[in-house]
Amino acid sequence: MKLPTFADPESLSYVYTLLQNSFDQMNNPNNNNSATSTNTRKRRRKNEDGGDDDDDNNHHGSINNNNEVGGKNKKNKKEEIKGILTSILLFDEQEKLENQQSKKVSEDEKFSIETNHKKKTKAMVDYYSNLDDSFSQVEESERVRRKKTRNMSNSVAIAATFSDGLEEATSEGIANDVNGGKTGGSQRRLWVKDRSGSWWDECNNEDFPEHEFKKAFRMGKSTFDLICEELNSAIVKEDTTLRNAIPVRQRVAVCLWRLATGDPLRIVSKKFGLGISTCHKLVLEVCTAIKTVLMPKYLQWPNEDSLRKIKTEFEGISGIPNVVGSMYTSHVPIIAPKISVAAYFNKRHTERNQKTSYSITVQGVVDTNGVFTDVCIGWPGSMPDDQVLEKSALFQRANNGGLLNGVWIVGSSGYPLMDWVLVPYSQQNLTWTQHGFNEKIGEIQKVAKDAFARLKGRWSCLQKRTEVKLQDLPVVLGACCVLHNICEMKGEKMDPELKVDIIDDEMVPEVGLRSVNSLKARDAIAHNLLHHGLAGTSFL
């Protein structure tokens, strides 16, 4: 017979209840014969009333039968109780066996984990021990190398010192000893790597063609000489005992060629016969000198006489009076920065080029000749044009200092309409008058866009991600704007093949109207243009 099993606490509780009732019945014999006693009392009453002996006999027979049935019931109950007890014992044994198996599995898993942990710990200890040994060997070899280098440098310095004070024959002997026994005039500087600077030597020659020089440095020789003369006091270096200083002309040439081509520093190094780190240092030094020395002279806000001239020229271009500048904001690509990556992410460039792009902004105001009169450089590329304007020094001077009272700076639809910023109509369903106004204001905007096209075309480093650090990039970009102004002022014509196309990334500001007076003034200008026949010509 298959014994019952109990999978839940309710079944087990039921078994214990059944056992308890069975034991109570077995311990109380009167309960088993209660029915028999009741029948006996009834028959006795009947006999007292005149019943016969047969009834009495029947009565005794029924008592005996009841006793037999009670005995069988007790036996059956004992068998049931025995089966239940057996089931409980088997259930306890099964539960103990399962607990033992579970405990054994847990111990095996624990042992396996501890074993693996010990193996991994031993492997890591061995790895770091080998790594420490390798680093120790490298440090030792580096220490020996530095010691040898110092000894060699000291020997060369001593030889150079003695050669200055001794006679010519003695100095030649020392030079021959240093050069390994070779005969020659001058002492060789062993610690300076020999590089060929023949390309620059050829460019620096007076017979070098003018158009080739201009192609290499984006300006003629006369303009190049002017820049060298202006920067001479700021970047000149003196010769030392062990090294001759790099000439000023070569320093300026390294910087201009790097900005003009945007080529990697390793190529600049090969062209000029200098080290890569030296070229990088020269570019930053010259750009810093340009910002310090030349920017106050060649990039500044016009004086009153110049402003009157600019107003007349802009009015001659568009018919719009009191315009003193054309404003535009462009982006320069950069390598993804290590901090604030989201701020420099350029969503519009990324969507257009299908490539993740990061940039910084360059906001510039130009006159009718495309010369920058104000720049704001370095704000992250995720900022729209109106926010860049609000961060600029021009905005602060105009709103707080009254720099632009009664005059206009023309901007694109990415700027808000303000008391001193004039922008085109940007709503739909424009009237004839509004179309004519936008046409004329577009001619002023084109001046700034063309200036940025020449800026990026002349200095190709602005078209690609450079190796300059983010914190140094505003200095480099400012130097490019100053050099652009010098070339424009000196009449340096740019090769048309170098000119690039400027793509508009304008975003209409959330608050496009900042002044009700400027709204009325713009409407008045538009009506005057149409009334005098200066607008709407493209629709005829």
pLDDT at 310: 96
In 3D space, the residue among 61, 63, 56 whose CA is nearest the CA of residue 32 turns out to be 63
pLDDT at 190: 42
CA torsion sign for 138, 140, 145, 146 is positive
pLDDT at 83: 80
Regions of the chain with pLDDT less than 50: 1-3, 6-7, 29-37, 46, 48, 51-59, 63, 160-191, 538-540
Q: Looking up tokens 């000893």, which residue turns up? A: 177
pLDDT at 345: 93
The long-range contacts involving 41-44, CB below 8 angstroms and separated by at least 24 positions, are none
- Residue 395: count other Cβ atoms within 10 Å of its Cβ: 20
pLDDT at 23: 61
Q: Looking up tokens 């050669």, which residue turns up? A: 163
Q: d(Cα 416, Cα 522) in Å, to the nearest integer?
A: 13
Buried-state track 133-146, b at ≥16 Cβ within 10 A, e below 16: eeeeeeeeeeeeee
Q: d(Cα 180, Cα 174) in Å, to the nearest integer?
A: 10
pLDDT at 55: 47
pLDDT at 290: 97
pLDDT at 34: 47
Q: d(Cα 462, Cα 482) in Å, to the nearest integer?
A: 14
pLDDT at 363: 96
* Strand stretches in 60-107, DSSP E: none
Reported as a single tens digit per residue, the pLDDT across 487-526 is 999 999 988 888 888 887 777 787 878 888 999 999 999 9
Mapping DSSP to helix (H, G, I), strand (E, B) and coil, where does residue 481 land? helix
